[in-house]
Amino acid sequence: MQNNAPLSHEIAIVTGGSRGIGLAIARSLGRLGARLALCATTAESATRAASALEAEGISALGLPADVSDPNAVRRFVSAVQAKLGDISILVNNAGVGIFHPAHQIEEAEWDRVLGTNLKGAWLMSREVAPQMIRQKRGHIIHIASLAGKNTFAGGGVYCASKWGLRGLAGCMAEDFRGYGIRVSVVCPGTVHTEFTPHAGKDPSRMLQPSDVAHVVVMLVLQAPQSFISEVDLRPTQKP
């Protein structure tokens, strides 16, 4: 990767980076020169995704971590820093969706969704924050959802996690802006991936992972005197 690429001096973590939206984001950042650390739930999936990016000439490290586990997050970030250096971009993309009426959600399901979608973003941000504060710059981008603004039947735990993520992002933006760290949240509508099929919807009219990646690139390339706090992303035509 050329040293004059726009992100050639950046080290980026992308959680949930082995597939779908996360892999698209990693690929887009890598093509602009960022050195990447991909976090996935298994070593096999993390390594496979990193190898695919390396084959494209993108510098990528794949490591497993459960983002809801503070010890796993600590080990992951420590390993990335030891191998690549201080992190300057964090994309909190890891997420799971479980959809039941609120009174039918099991406690374990509640804990899994909130632990991944909300607690995981907080844990990862908390772990990289000292590095960014020391550098007096950085980007933290949370991938939320329009479900963080709109309610629907069966979406209780998922919506709760994404509404919470938007609230966390807004507060973090105020906490960190004095250190030159920009915090943003991206709220996509329905995105077409092989892992999240949507029965009855036209895939050609749905958002694509590359659409979300485009927004992330736009955020990290924003001029340093300003930042975009929140982006709503919708398909041009309804699926």
Note whether residue 39 is domain-resident: yes
Note whether residue 19 is domain-resident: yes
Note whether residue 238 is domain-resident: no
CA 60 to chain centre: 16
- How long, in residues, is the chain? 239
In degrees rounded to 5, what are phi and psi of residue 157? -75, -40
The helix/strand/coil state of 191 is: strand
In Å, how far are 56, 200, 214, 222 from 197, measured between CA atoms? 27, 9, 22, 33
pLDDT value for 85 = 97
158 is catalytic: yes
Angle between helix 20-31 and 43-54 (nearest 10): 30
Q: What is the CATH number of the domain that holds 67?
A: 3.40.50.720
Its domain, for residue 17, covers: 11-233
> What is the secondary structure of 51-70 as a DSSP string?
HHHHTTT--EEEEE--TT-H
- Number of independent structural domains in the chain: 1
User: Rounded to two decimals, what is the model's pTM?
Assistant: 0.94
Note whether residue 227 is domain-resident: yes
Closest CA to 133 of 166, 175, 99: 175
pLDDT value for 198 = 65
The set of residues, in sequence order, having a beta carbon less than 8 Å from that of 121 and lying 6+ positions away, is 15, 67, 92, 94, 142, 165, 168
pLDDT value for 47 = 97
| Long-range pairs for 166-172: beta carbons < 8 A, 24 or more residues apart | 166/142, 166/230, 168/118, 168/121, 168/122, 168/142, 169/140, 169/142, 169/144, 169/229, 169/230, 170/229, 170/230, 172/125, 172/140
pLDDT value for 4 = 81
Per-residue pLDDT of the chain (239 residues; tens, 9 = 90+): 556 899 999 999 999 999 999 999 999 999 999 999 999 999 999 999 999 999 999 999 999 999 999 999 999 999 999 999 999 999 999 999 999 999 999 999 999 999 999 999 999 999 999 999 999 999 999 999 999 999 999 999 999 999 999 999 999 999 999 999 999 999 999 897 765 556 667 777 889 999 999 999 999 999 989 999 999 999 988 87
Note whether residue 239 is domain-resident: no
pLDDT value for 144 = 97
Note whether residue 5 is domain-resident: no
Catalytic residue of the set 158, 169, 188, 216: 158
For the chain, the C-alpha Rg in angstroms (whole number) is: 17
